[in-house]
Structure 1
Amino acid sequence: MSNKKKITIIIGGGIAAYKSLEIIRFLQNENFEIIPILTKSASNFVTSLSISALSRNKVYSDLFDLNDESEMGHIQLSRVSELILVAPATANLMSKFANGIADDLATTLVLATNKKVLLAPSMNVRMWNHGATISNIKKLKKYGFQFIGPNSGEMACGEFGLGRMAEPIEIKKQVLNSFKNNNLANKKILITSGPTIERIDPVRFISNDSSGLQGTSIANALIRKGARVIFVTGPSNIEKPIGAKIINVESAQEMHNAVFKNGPYNIAICAAAVSDWYVENKNDHKIKKNSLEIPNFNLKENPDILADLSKSKNRPELIIGFAAETSNLIQNAKSKLSNKGCDIIVANKIDKKSSTFGSLDNKVSIISNEKTLNWPKMSKIEIGEKLADLIENLDN
Structure 2
Amino acid sequence: MSELAGQRILLGVSGGIAAYKAADLVRRLQDAGAEVRVVMTEGAQQFVTATTFQALSGHPVRTSLWDAAAEAAMGHIELARWATRILIAPASADVLARLAHGFANDLLSTLCLASEAPVVVVPAMNRVMWAHAATRANLATLVARGVTVLGPGEGDQACGEVGAGRMLEPLQIVQALASASRPSLLSGRQVLISAGPTFEDLDPVRFLGNRSSGKMGFALAAVAAAMGARVTLVAGPVSLATPPGVQRVDVRRAAQMRDAVLAALPGQDVYIGAAAVADYAPVETQPQKIKKTGETLAVQLVRTPDILAEVAAHAARPHLVVGFAAETNDLDTYARDKLRRKGLDLIAANDVSAQGIGFESEDNALAVFDAERRFDIPRGTKTAVAGALLALIAERLGTRA
TM-score using structure 1 length: 0.64
Cα shift readout 1:21-65 (whole Å, capped 9, x = no counterpart): xxxxxxxxxxxxxxxxxx93788547656998x99xxx789xxxx
**1:102 and 1:351 mapped to 2: Cα distance?**
36
Contact 1:197–1:275 (Cα < 8 Å) also in 2? yes
Structure 1 residue 391 displacement after superposition: 1.8
Paired residue for 1:386? Answer: 388
Matched residue SS, 1:258: helix
Contact 1:12–1:41 (Cα < 8 Å) also in 2? no
1:325 aligns with 2:320: no
Of the three residues 189, 192, 197, the one matched with 1:190 is: 192
Which deviates the most, 309-318 or 356-365? 356-365
**1:85 and 1:350 mapped to 2: Cα distance?**
34
Contact 2:76–2:111 (Cα < 8 Å) also in 1? no
Structure 1 residue 178 displacement after superposition: 5.0
Cα shift readout 1:267-319 (whole Å, capped 9, x = no counterpart): 11000000011101220110011036x43222111111100100100110011
Structure 1 residue 98 displacement after superposition: 10
Of the three residues 49, 61, 65, the one matched with 1:40 is: 65
Contact 2:367–2:377 (Cα < 8 Å) also in 1? yes
* 1:113-132 superposed matches below 5 A: 114=146
Paired residue for 1:30? Answer: none
1:95 aligns with 2:127: no
Contact 1:234–1:249 (Cα < 8 Å) also in 2? yes
Q: Percent identity?
A: 29
Q: Cα–Cα, structure 1 residues 263 and 352, in superposed 2: closer, same or farther, change >3 Å?
A: closer
Structure 1 residue 134 displacement after superposition: 9.2
Contact 1:201–1:282 (Cα < 8 Å) also in 2? yes
Q: Cα–Cα, structure 1 residues 295 and 366, in superposed 2: closer, same or farther, change >3 Å?
A: same
Size of the aligned set, in residue pairs, is 296
Paired residue for 1:145? Answer: 177
The runs of at least 4 consecutive aligned structure 1 residues that moved more than 3 Å come to: 7-20, 39-52, 96-103, 105-117, 133-136, 138-142, 352-355
Of the three residues 243, 262, 269, the one matched with 1:260 is: 262
Paired residue for 2:372? Answer: 370
Contact 1:101–1:107 (Cα < 8 Å) also in 2? no
Q: Cα–Cα, structure 1 residues 42 and 241, in superposed 2: closer, same or farther, change >3 Å?
A: farther
Q: Cα–Cα, structure 1 residues 100 and 216, in superposed 2: closer, same or farther, change >3 Å?
A: farther
Which deviates the most, 197-206 or 358-367? 358-367
Matched residue SS, 1:229: strand
**Amino acid paired to 1:145:** L
Q: Cα–Cα, structure 1 residues 141 and 354, in superposed 2: closer, same or farther, change >3 Å?
A: same
**Amino acid paired to 2:177:** F
Matched residue SS, 2:368: strand
Paired residue for 2:285? Answer: 282
Unpaired segments ≥5 residues, structure 2: 1-6, 11-36, 40-52, 99-108, 114-118, 122-141, 150-165
Cα shift readout 1:329-377 (whole Å, capped 9, x = no counterpart): 1011101000111100101123375662111222220010121012322
Structure 1 residue 246 displacement after superposition: 0.8
**Amino acid paired to 1:248:** D
* 1:158-173 superposed matches below 5 A: none
Unpaired segments ≥5 residues, structure 1: 1-6, 21-38, 62-82, 118-132, 148-176
TM-score using structure 2 length: 0.63
Contact 2:185–2:391 (Cα < 8 Å) also in 1? no
**1:296 and 1:335 mapped to 2: Cα distance?**
32
CA RMSD between the two structures: 3.8
Matched residue SS, 1:395: helix
* 1:1-396 superposed matches below 5 A: 13=39, 40=65, 44-45=69-70, 84-86=84-86, 93-96=88-91, 101=96, 103=98, 104-107=109-112, 109-111=119-121, 112=142, 114=146, 137-138=170-171, 140-141=173-174, 144-146=176-178, 182-264=184-266, 265-291=268-294, 294-351=296-353, 353=355, 356-396=358-398
Q: Cα–Cα, structure 1 residues 359 and 18, in superposed 2: closer, same or farther, change >3 Å?
A: closer
Q: Cα–Cα, structure 1 residues 371 and 282, in superposed 2: closer, same or farther, change >3 Å?
A: same
Cα shift readout 1:203-230 (whole Å, capped 9, x = no counterpart): 1111100001111111111111111110
